[in-house]
Structure 1
Amino acid sequence: MAGTRSTGRRERLRTETTAEIKSTALELMGSGGPDAITLRAIAREMGMTANAIYGYFATRDDLVTALIADVYTALANALDAAWAASPQGDPAARVQAWAHAFRDWALANPEGFRLIYGDPVPGYRAPEGGAAPDAARRVCVGIAALAATAWENAEPPHEGGDFSWADFDPGLLGKVRPAFPGLPPAGVALALRIWGHLHGLVALEIYGHLRAQTPAPDKLFRSELAQLVRSLGLNAG
């Protein structure tokens, strides 16, 4: 019994220390940019020796991969939850719920946003298949769901345009087409355009470029989102 308690304490301590290492890495990134993430700097901040921290992450890239996986998964969970909770019979509300969930998550996790959508960590090499393939697929499918919703419910209907499958990366199509086999190439283009609208304003806000221009970036986002919904041919309730 004593051995079991001792093992449990060690596991709990390891879990807590691993979480602290990750949070410290994000704090360093927030204050010093992506190149501030080094195991030695983290050890210094935490009062650990460099050798001790290597017992948790063998390399800096291992840590970055774990961070990206955590952050991307948290974002995917937030977006999936917002989509699932939105009313299925109200396409405009579904698009708006997803968009607001994206912005809310980014504002609550600015370092995480910068890690997965900002400047890359210098010298970082992701593992084969990416650091968070499942989360990346879920976010990608979520964006495609916005386009599919618009495509199916637009008034008037969207036109096919002159896009072909050759206009898109096979990796992107490998995520989108199995989930939405009826979405044409122009629908994939629509998904990317929607992503550009939503990501652009959020990125400007996270990097501090909007606060100098307006004290109400939330109002600006709502206005842009309302315009996006109208442009998609959806009737906002």
Structure 2
Amino acid sequence: MKSATQPPQPPTQTRRERLRAETSAEIKAVALRLMADGGPDAISLRAIAREMGMTAGAIYGYFDTRDALVTALIVDVYSELLAAVEGARDRLPADDVAGRIVAWGVTLRAWAIANPEGFRLIYGDSLRGYEPPLQEAVTASEKRACEGLTALIAEAWPSAANRYCDEVYAWADFDEALVEKVRTAHPDLPPAGAAVAMRVWGRMYGLVALEVFGRLSPLAHDPARLYEDELKALVRDLGLTPA
């Protein structure tokens, strides 16, 4: 009797590969810690090498330049954030559009509060002189976030359309590559829907940024409540009923 065919197993990492992956992860963690202490411009390969007890030459074996390290950090941070918000969205049924939008927003804030350095890296001040060697990777992460929110607005559009019927936009008002993906995925969504998605993003981002950058806490004792009420107002503005 033949045994059932076993699925192919992923290749096992060698000890050298494991050590390299662990060291790369530590370099990124130290970079974020330096940024938390001294701002984005505190990230430098020499400073990280000193923190880790490595020589400057050794660390260049992992990242050729500071900009290569920053790009890797941005892509990693975006991937972590998007996995969190997309996972929260997808745990709710497709017909609970209001709940899916609120879940995205609540998870964005929770992630940002738990990972302020990562939030500041991707949504705060840019690093002086930073030129990403892999601009496509950074841009792809940014567009994935925009596409995710646009998909939520497409789900809400049957309720929201009448509220934005007087707003006139053209697809030429937006990034060409983004437009191509949005129109392919949501052929019934008009350009005004893409504009609404970006405004929704602005409303979600605004209070979170004020909180992460320490501008909200001196003024409001319960920023979580402010944010949750803003999310409820946001879904009501889309013609939906918040849970």
- C-alpha distance in 2, partners of 1:10/1:128? 26
Q: 2:93 corresponds to which letter in structure 1?
A: P
Match of residue 30 from structure 2: 24
Q: 1:129 to 1:18 in 2, by over 3 A?
A: closer
What's the CA shift for 1:137? 3.1
Q: 1:146 corresponds to which letter in structure 2?
A: L
What's the CA shift for 1:79? 1.6
Q: 1:144 corresponds to which letter in structure 2?
A: T
Match of residue 3 from structure 1: none
Q: Does structure 2 retain, via aligned residues, the 8 Å contact 1:82–1:97?
A: yes
Q: 1:137 to 1:169 in 2, by over 3 A?
A: closer
1:61 to 67, 91, 97: 67
Within a 5 Å distance, the mapping from 1:198-237 to structure 2 comes to: 198-237=204-243
Q: 1:97 corresponds to which letter in structure 2?
A: A
What's the CA shift for 1:129? 4.2
What's the CA shift for 1:176? 2.3
Q: 2:199 corresponds to which letter in structure 1?
A: R
Give the fraction of aligned pairs with identical amino acids, expressed as a percent.
55
Match of residue 101 from structure 1: 107
Unaligned runs of 5+ in 1: 1-6
Unaligned runs of 5+ in 2: 1-12
Within a 5 Å distance, the mapping from 1:1-237 to structure 2 comes to: 8-154=14-160, 158-159=164-165, 161-237=167-243
Q: Does structure 2 retain, via aligned residues, the 8 Å contact 1:155–1:234?
A: no
User: Could you say what secondary structure the match of 1:131 adopts?
Assistant: helix
- C-alpha distance in 1, partners of 2:150/2:76? 22
What's the CA shift for 1:150? 2.1
Q: Does structure 2 retain, via aligned residues, the 8 Å contact 1:83–1:97?
A: yes
What's the CA shift for 1:133? 4.3
Count of equivalent residues: 231
- C-alpha distance in 2, partners of 1:61/1:31? 19
- C-alpha distance in 1, partners of 2:160/2:89? 19
Q: 2:131 corresponds to which letter in structure 1?
A: R
- C-alpha distance in 2, partners of 1:69/1:128? 10
TM-score of the pair, normalised by structure 1: 0.91
Q: State the superposition RMSD in angstroms.
A: 1.8
TM-score of the pair, normalised by structure 2: 0.89
Q: 1:223 corresponds to which letter in structure 2?
A: D
